[in-house]
Structure 1
Amino acid sequence: MEKPWKCGDCGKGFDYPSQLEIHRRTHTGERPFICSKCEKGFTHLSSLQAHQRTHSGERPFTCSVCGKRFTQSSNLLRHQRVHTGERPFACSECGNAFTQLSNLLQHQRVHTDERPFKCLDCGKCYKSSRELSCHQRVHTNERPFRCSHCGSGFRRSSQLTEHQRIHTGERPFRCSECGKRFTQSSKLWRHQRIHSDMRAFKCCDCKESFKSSNDLLKHQRVHTGERLFTCSECGKRFTRSFTLLRHQRLHAGGKLFICSECGKDSLGHSPCCNSSGFAQEEKLFT
C-alpha cells in the first residue's frame, strides 16, 4: 500500500503527517528538543530522554551475559549481538554484515559516496546525521562526556565508555577461538580475521592480499619506499615503528647477535631457523 505523505527532499513516504514532520528534521537539521544540562538538541523527545541518562548515570537495562548496563532497551538488544555474533544486515555489494540496519544503510554510502548531511559552518558533508553532529563539536569544542576518574572530556559517549576501560581494566569482548579479550568489539572483529582465511584488503601493485587495512598500508611501503620512522640519534629511517625501536636499542648499548645459519640478527639470545643458537659472532654498537 502506497504511503501518501511524501518527503519533498528525498521522496520517502510515510503513513502519517507527524512522521513526515519528524523525518524532515534530518534534512533541515532542526532539533527542537534541547537538553538543559549540555544544550544538545534532538529531533525526538524520546532521544532527549534517553540522552539525559548520560548525565544522571541511570542505566536501567542490563546485559545478562556480561552485566553491561544501558540507557535504552534498544541499545541492549544491539549489544547482545556482540555475544551471539549475529550480524543480520548484509551489504549486497561487498557482503559486509552489520548488527544494525542503520549501520548497513550508512555503510552502503561507501559504495555510492552519498553525503547528504552538510555542516553549515564549514560546508563539509557527511554520510549520517550522527557523523555531522559529532563533527560540529569540532567547531564548538564541546566535550560533554567527562570521565569521573581523570576528568578527560570526550565528544562522544562511546569514546568515554571505551576510555573508562583504561581505568577499570575491563575487556568485555572475548574471542571464542583463543580466549583473548578486547576493550572494543571492533578490535575483536579485526582480531577474528587471524583465525579465518579471509583477506579482504588487496594491494593494487602486486595483488597480494591482507587481513587488515593496517597490514596493507605497511606492505604498500615496500612499493613506495616510504620510511616514516626516523632515528633521532643517527637519522636512519625505517618503514615500521617496531624496527625503529629495535634499532634504537643499539644506541642504548644493546648487543646484536648474528645467526650463522640464515644471517638474521637479534637483540636477544633466542635461536632462530631451528638452529642450535645464534652464532658466536657478536656485535656491540659503538
Structure 2
Amino acid sequence: MREAEPSCSSSLPHVTREADGDHCGGPQADDLLAPLSDGDDTTSPEDEGSDCNQDSDSSKKKTGKHFTCSVCDKRFSCTSKLAQHMKIHTGEKPFSCSNCGKSFITKSAVRSHMRTHTGEKPFSCSHCGKSFTTKSALRSHVRTHTGEKPFSCSDCGKRFALKSHVQNHMTIHTGEKPFSCSDCGKRFTQMSSMQKHMRIHTGEKPYGCSDCGKRFTQKSSMDKHMTMHTGEKPYSCSDCGKRFTLKSNMQSHMRTHAGEKPFRCSDCGKCFTHKSNMQSHMRTHAGEKPFSCSDCGKSFTHKSNMQSHMRTHAGEKPFSCSECGKRFLLKQSMLSHMRTHTGEKPFSCSDCGKCFTLKSRMQSHRRTHTGEKPFSCSECGKRFLHKRSILSHMRTHKREKPLSCSNCGDTFSSQSTLHEHMQSH
C-alpha cells in the first residue's frame, strides 16, 4: 500500500486546495520572483531556487495548479507561491532596503533594488555588451536586437516587445484612464504620465545635467539638453543626410520628404506633420490660451509666443546677425534678416515661379493667383487679401488715425493715404 505523501500546505489564510495531489515544496517566499512590468523575473542565477519538489522519480513532475487564491481566484502549484502572492492582497512587505528603507514583497526584489545603490549591473547583452541591473531588463533589451514582439493586442493584433506596452496600448481601445492627479483631478492612461504631471504641482526636477547642473522634470528633457554640451547628432536623414539630436526630430523631418501629414484636426480636418502643431492648432477652435505672461497677464495659445512676448518686458533680444550684429527678439526674425545679406529667396510661387525671402510673403502673393481673400471685416463683411489691409480698413469704422505727417501734423488711418499726402509737401 502506498504511503500518504507529506503535504507542503501550511496553515495559510485564503488557501483553497482543489484536489489531492503530490506534495509541493519549492523555494521559500523570499526567493521567488518579484512581479515586473513585462512578467520576467528579477533574480540573478544564484537567487533562483529549485522548482516545486518532485517525486523521487524525476519523470513524475507535477504540472497541476491545485491551490487557489480566494481573493482573486488565481491558481498556483505550490503553497509557497500562493503565500508570496497573498502579500499583494495584504500589502505585506517584509523585506526592506538597508540603505533607503524602501520595502519589498520578496527578498529577491530587495536584492535587485540594492543594485541601484551599488551600481552593480550583473546581466550583460551578448549582442552589444550593454549591462543591466535585472535579468528582466536584459531580456527586454535583447528583443531590440532580435525584433521579437511576443505580446499582442487582443483587439487589433498589434504586437509589442513588452507586456507593459501592450497594456498601455489597450487603453486606446477601452478609453480607460485609471490614474488621476490628486491635486487637480486630471486623468491619465499611464501611471508614468500621471507621475510626470504631478511634478508640475510639486515643482520636483529629479534629473540634473552633469555638466552645468540645470535640472529637469523629465529624463527625456535632460537627455535633449545634454546634446547641447556634446554637440552629438546621432540620427541622420536617409534622404538628405541632415543630422538630428533626437530620433523624434529626425522622424518628423522625414515626413517633409514623404509629404506625410498623419495628424488630423477632428474639428476642421486640417492635417499636420507634427502632433504638437496639431495640438496647438486645436486650441484655435477651443479658444484655449493656457500660457500667460507673469508680468502683464496676457494669455497665449502657444508657449513659444508667450516666451517671445516676455522678451518685450525684459528688452531682451537674444538672437544676433553674424554679419551686421543687429539683434532680434525671435530666431525666425534673425534668420529672415540673414537672407538680406545672402540674397537667398527659398520660397517660390508654384504658379509663376516668383521667389520670396519669407514664406508669409509667398503665401500672400499666391492669393493674387487664387483670388482668395481670407480676412473679413466684422463690421461690414468686406474681405481682404492681407491682414494689414483689414487692420487699416477697421480704422475707418473706429475713426482711428494713428499715422501723422511729420511736416504738418495731419493724421491718417492708413500708410497709403499718409504716403499720398506726403507727396504734396
TM over 0.5: yes
Residue 133 of structure 1 deviates from its aligned partner by 8.6
1:89 and 1:104 in contact (8 A); partners too? yes
Correspondence list, 1:100-249, <5 A: 100-114=190-204, 165=255, 170-182=260-272, 185-231=275-321, 235-244=325-334
1:82 and 1:185 in contact (8 A); partners too? no
1:272 and 1:278 in contact (8 A); partners too? no
Q: TM-score, normalised by structure 1?
A: 0.63
CA distance in 2, matches of 1:88, 1:192: 25
Higher mean C-alpha deviation, range 2-11 or range 67-76:
67-76
The one-character-per-residue Cα deviations of 1:71-109 (angstroms, maximum 9, x if unpaired) are 334324434656887654333335555432123224434
Among candidates 98, 116, 123, match of residue 33 of structure 1: 123
Correspondence list, 1:71-90, <5 A: 71-79=161-169, 87-90=177-180
Residue 218 of structure 1 deviates from its aligned partner by 0.9
CA distance in 2, matches of 1:146, 1:86: 37
CA RMSD after TM alignment:
5.2
The one-character-per-residue Cα deviations of 1:228-280 (angstroms, maximum 9, x if unpaired) are 33455654433224444565677759899xxxxxxxxxxx8984337499848
Q: Name the structure 2 match of 1:272.
A: 390
The alpha-carbon distance between structure 1 residues 86 and 193, as it changes in their structure 2 partners (threshold 3 A), is: farther
> Is 2:13 aligned against 1:13?
no
Q: Percent same amino acid at aligned positions?
A: 45
Q: Name the structure 2 match of 1:42.
A: 132
CA distance in 1, matches of 2:157, 2:266: 18
Question: Could you say which structure has the larger radius of gyration?
Answer: 2
The one-character-per-residue Cα deviations of 1:154-183 (angstroms, maximum 9, x if unpaired) are 887766765665665554443322334455
Residue 47 of structure 1 deviates from its aligned partner by 2.8
The one-character-per-residue Cα deviations of 1:103-130 (angstroms, maximum 9, x if unpaired) are 3224434544556678899988776778
The alpha-carbon distance between structure 1 residues 278 and 207, as it changes in their structure 2 partners (threshold 3 A), is: closer
The alpha-carbon distance between structure 1 residues 238 and 128, as it changes in their structure 2 partners (threshold 3 A), is: closer
Residue 224 of structure 1 deviates from its aligned partner by 0.9
Secondary structure (helix, strand or coil) at the match of 2:108 reads helix
Among candidates 87, 110, 114, match of residue 24 of structure 1: 114
Q: Which amino acid aligns with 1:273?
A: L
The alpha-carbon distance between structure 1 residues 109 and 221, as it changes in their structure 2 partners (threshold 3 A), is: same
Count of residue pairs brought into register by the alignment:
271
CA distance in 2, matches of 1:144, 1:232: 27
Q: TM-score, normalised by structure 2?
A: 0.46
Higher mean C-alpha deviation, range 194-203 or range 163-172:
163-172
CA distance in 2, matches of 1:194, 1:18: 53
Q: Name the structure 2 match of 1:264.
A: none
Secondary structure (helix, strand or coil) at the match of 1:273 reads helix
The alpha-carbon distance between structure 1 residues 35 and 19, as it changes in their structure 2 partners (threshold 3 A), is: same
The alpha-carbon distance between structure 1 residues 150 and 247, as it changes in their structure 2 partners (threshold 3 A), is: closer
Consecutive unaligned residues of structure 2, counting only runs of 5 or more, are 1-89, 344-354, 362-385, 395-413, 421-425
Secondary structure (helix, strand or coil) at the match of 1:214 reads helix
Q: Which amino acid aligns with 1:179?
A: G
The one-character-per-residue Cα deviations of 1:12-49 (angstroms, maximum 9, x if unpaired) are 33222122223334444433322233333333333323
Consecutive unaligned residues of structure 1, counting only runs of 5 or more, are 257-267
CA distance in 2, matches of 1:221, 1:208: 13
Residue 221 of structure 1 deviates from its aligned partner by 1.1
CA distance in 2, matches of 1:242, 1:155: 20
Q: Which amino acid aligns with 1:38?
A: C
CA distance in 2, matches of 1:136, 1:231: 26
1:182 and 1:188 in contact (8 A); partners too? yes
Residue 227 of structure 1 deviates from its aligned partner by 1.9
Q: Which amino acid aligns with 2:108?
A: S
Q: Name the structure 2 match of 1:4.
A: 94
1:227 and 1:239 in contact (8 A); partners too? yes
Q: Which amino acid aligns with 2:286?
A: S
Residue 206 of structure 1 deviates from its aligned partner by 0.9
